[in-house]
Amino acid sequence: MAYKIDANVCVGCGACAGNCPVSAIEPKNDKYEIDPNVCISCRACKSTCPVNAISQ
């Protein structure tokens, strides 16, 4: 199951996008969003997020 970003918590820093090995994370409306069709559930983004906005 793909990971997802809670837009109410995300501060749009982009740290997660830089750490995704498959480029599944793109900016959207000043926040970031994970494409569930691309995400391989590696968890790398989750440990990078400073505000814990990412969950599975």
Task: Out of 26, 28, 41, 47, name the contact with ligand SF4 by CB under 6 A.
Answer: 41
Q: Does 26 bind ligand SF4 (CB under 6 A)?
A: no
Task: Out of 26, 28, 42, 55, name the contact with ligand SF4 by CB under 6 A.
Answer: 42
Report the phi/psi class of residue 12: left, alpha or beta, with left for phi > 0 and alpha for psi in -120 to 50: left
Task: Out of 13, 26, 28, 30, name the contact with ligand SF4 by CB under 6 A.
Answer: 13
The answer to whether residues 13 and 48 touch, using CB atoms and an 8 Å cutoff, is no
The answer to whether residues 25 and 46 touch, using CB atoms and an 8 Å cutoff, is no
Q: Does 47 bind ligand SF4 (CB under 6 A)?
A: no
